[in-house]
């Protein structure tokens, strides 16, 4: 652990995950069943995940910053019958009990509250002897949908024994980034996100060391690269911005010579920011584009990027990129349209949402899948993203979907209509903007803003709440009732070549 220095050995990881696996089986879980984990970046987080990976279970990692209502929906929707949490989230855990009636067993680290068993006491009676019938499980993470409710991204259970862990991700990173036994990987991000969790498990599959930051701090991250002799790391662009804003004397005092590869993803990186990072760290910065759905994947090295600035790379992992217009016809290089990836591997499904699963595929080519992003490819096959799917907001590498926020605002008695979208933010990439049509037009300004801020504090996680409000007499809705959001959003993006930072 980056802050506390707490060390978990492979022996402890193995024994703890075996004990939990046995407890889960005793609770009635069978291969293909689900349980959930909702914790901060905790020393025992991976122990819980590995219990799923070695028993054929699905584990859903829940964002620890969600409100009790938001988290409760995910735990209930994924079908979890066991929830593992920590004393740090006791208030949310207690409030979730009534919303998660299918959970039969609740375990808590670092203490307990009524209805939640102390984790170590509950697992202490179980043997650490090797399980005699291990099979691989996997994660099922949630990616919020434009319908306002998050959706679980579900893959078929992978083949093979549990010891192989996240073998596909491990193999890809071995080939592309030199992952190996003995590597030291710095994870500065929350483990409930897809890439941090899955890559952390992949590093452990290979026998590497993972250094987990409890929370991101720019200077501490640099200090950890020196102290732990970090060889590999993964970031989002906001972290680059914050490290670059440190005083030069602070930035340059740390020995980063062990650092071989710094991967970034989750959001497009501002060109100027990436140029500065390559100047500072050298050509060790690698970028990829993908989603929780594991649709596609591109990759691009520093050397390639410097001659294709702004690109997220060329297709990797056997995928083929197709760009299609609104009529689903394929477009030639240089033309912008919906980005599809033709995939050779098994595809995902959205849990409990067959219709959304269907819309992710091209209507004529079922193996072409899209995240809904808009982009173009050049004649060399490099992809450039030019807009967001359904006006999804990416703030600090975190995906935020407007519909849920709009629904919360529309529930306010003084709000007649609302539009939410991302506007430029030099540090976070984008921030949440709300444009509101009030029931009584004159009643706007600071008083209504304060009222709406208080309203959202009770209903939305902090990162989803609008950072600013504008008021209009009439929102631009078409005759069919559809909100013409682009007309609103484009005003805030004037003078930019693309609608992403």
pLDDT number for residue 118: 98
Residues of the chain with confidence (pLDDT) below 70: 144-148, 161-165, 268, 295-296, 346, 390, 444, 478-482, 497-501
pLDDT number for residue 145: 44
Closest of 174, 136, 170, 133 to residue 155, by C-alpha: 136
pLDDT number for residue 146: 38
pLDDT number for residue 203: 96
pLDDT number for residue 499: 60
Same fold, 10-146 and 204-389: yes
pLDDT tens digit sequence for 362-396:
999 988 999 888 899 999 999 998 877 767 888 98
Q: According to CATH, what is the number of the domain 10-146?
A: 3.40.50.980
pLDDT number for residue 143: 79
What pTM, to 2 d.p., does this model score? Answer: 0.85
Query: Per-residue DSSP letters for 83-121?
Result: EEEEGGGHHHHHHHGGG-TT--EEEEESS--TT-EEHHH
**CA distance linking residue 74 with residue 291, whole number of Å:** 19
**CA distance linking residue 454 with residue 156, whole number of Å:** 42
- Selected from 2.40.50.100, 3.30.300.30, 2.60.120.380, 3.50.40.10, the CATH number assigned to the domain covering 395-492 reads 3.30.300.30
Give 108's strand partners.
85, 118
Superfamily of domain 204-389: ANL, N-terminal domain (3.40.50.12780)
pLDDT number for residue 159: 80
Domain boundaries, the chain: 10-146, 204-389, 395-492
């Amino acid at each position: 652990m980056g802050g506390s220095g707490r060390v978990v050995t492979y022996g402890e990881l193995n024994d703890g995950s075996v004990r939990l696996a046995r407890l889960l089986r005793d609770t009635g879980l069978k291969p293909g069943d689900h349980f959930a984990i909702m914790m901060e970046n905790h020393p025992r987080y991976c122990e819980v995940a590995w219990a799923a990976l070695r028993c054929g279970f699905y584990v859903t990692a829940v964002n620890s910053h969600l409100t009790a209502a938001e988290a409760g929906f995910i735990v209930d929707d994924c079908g979890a019958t066991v929830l593992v949490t920590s004393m740090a989230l006791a208030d949310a855990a207690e409030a979730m009990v009534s919303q998660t009636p299918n959970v039969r067993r609740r375990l808590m680290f670092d203490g307990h509250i009524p209805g939640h068993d102390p984790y170590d006491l509950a697992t202490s009676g179980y043997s650490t002897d090797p399980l005699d019938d291990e099979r691989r499980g996997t994660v099922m993470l949630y990616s919020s949908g434009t319908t306002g409710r998050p959706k679980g991204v579900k893959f078929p259970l992978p083949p093979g024994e549990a010891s192989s862990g996240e073998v596909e991700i491990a193999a890809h990173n071995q080939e592309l980034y030199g992952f190996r036994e003995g590597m030291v990987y710095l994870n500065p991000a929350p483990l409930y996100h897809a890439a941090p969790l899955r890559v952390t498990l992949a590093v452990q599959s290979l026998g590497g060391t993972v250094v987990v930051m409890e929370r991101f701090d720019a200077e501490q991250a640099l200090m950890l690269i020196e102290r732990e002799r970090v060889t590999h790391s993964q970031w989002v662009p906001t972290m680059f911005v914050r490290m670059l804003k440190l005083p030069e004397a602070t930035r340059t005092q740390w020995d980063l010579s062990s650092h071989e590869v710094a991967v970034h993803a989750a959001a497009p990186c501002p060109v100027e920011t990436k140029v500065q990072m390559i100047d500072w760290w050298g050509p060790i910065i690698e970028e990829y584009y993908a989603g929780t759905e594991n649709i596609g994947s591109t990759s691009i090295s520093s050397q390639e990027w410097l001659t294709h600035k702004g690109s997220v790379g060329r297709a990797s992992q056997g995928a083929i990129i197709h760009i299609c217009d609104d009529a689903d016809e394929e477009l030639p290089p240089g033309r912008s349209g919906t980005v599809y990836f033709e995939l050779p591997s098994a595809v995902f499904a959205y849990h409990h949402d067959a219709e959304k699963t269907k819309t992710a595929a091209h209507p004529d080519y079922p193996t072409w899948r899209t995240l809904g992003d808009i982009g173009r490819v050049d004649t060399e096959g490099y992809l450039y993203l030019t807009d967001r799917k359904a006006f999804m907001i990416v703030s600090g590498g975190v995906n935020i979907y407007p519909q849920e926020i709009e629904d919360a605002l529309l529930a306010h008695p003084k709000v007649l209509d609302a539009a939410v979208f991302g506007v430029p933010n030099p540090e976070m990439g984008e921030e949440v903007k709300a444009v509101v049509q009030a029931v009584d037009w004159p009643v706007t300004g600071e008083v209504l803003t304060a009222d709406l801020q208080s309203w959202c504090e009770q209903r939305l996680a902090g990162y989803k709440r609008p950072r600013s409000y504008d008021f209009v007499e009439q929102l631009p809705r078409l005759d069919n009732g559809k909100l013409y959001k682009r007309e609103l959003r484009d005003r805030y993006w004037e003078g930019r070549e693309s609608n992403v930072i």
